[in-house]
Homo-oligomer: A and B are copies of this chain.
Amino acid sequence: MGMSDLCDFQEWLRRQGLRPTPVRLAVLETLAEASRALRAQEILTVIRARRRVNKVTVYRILEDFTRRGIIRRLNLEGRACHYELACEHRPPHPHFQCRTCREIQCLEPAPLNIVWAELRGPLGNRADHIEVRVAGLCHKCREID
């Protein structure tokens, strides 16, 4: 969804002290164009449609970007993590995941602020990140079932 025009990844990486290499840019562009959070394997597939790249490279980039807060790593159901861009146009938000088809859908960010307010206090500001995962049946799967 053409977020690439809103975020200048080239500049973004340089400000982090990272060289804007083809693979790093490809990872960011892939996530920017996705309509939902992606697994490492999915990112790899998208990039490989255009260039030859080793999975270790992508895993290392994802790890590095996550530590730097450039992207967010989501611990949803299933063994693989999902990744999404974390620029100012994409604030943290809850995710909905279908029990059956396992598809992910991003929800409005607003409710997260309420959870923050509820939890930061009791935790004495120890918290620096909140993840909310909602599970259920998506429209498609409900019809089938």
Interface-lining segment among A16-24, A30-38, A47-55, A112-120:
A112-120
Chain A 83-124, CB within 8 Å of chain B: the 1/0 string? 000000000001010010000000110110011001100110
Chain A 134-145, CB within 8 Å of chain B: the 1/0 string? 111111001000
Question: How would you classify the secondary structure of chain A's contact residues: helix, strand, loop or mixed?
Answer: mixed
Copies of the chain in the assembly: 2
Complex contacts, A111 vs chain B, CB 8 Å: 115, 118-119
* A133 is an interface residue with CB less than 8 A from chain B: yes
* A4 is an interface residue with CB less than 8 A from chain B: no
7 nearest A-B residue pairs (beta carbon):
A111-B118, A129-B135, A127-B136, A126-B136, A131-B133, A128-B136, A75-B75
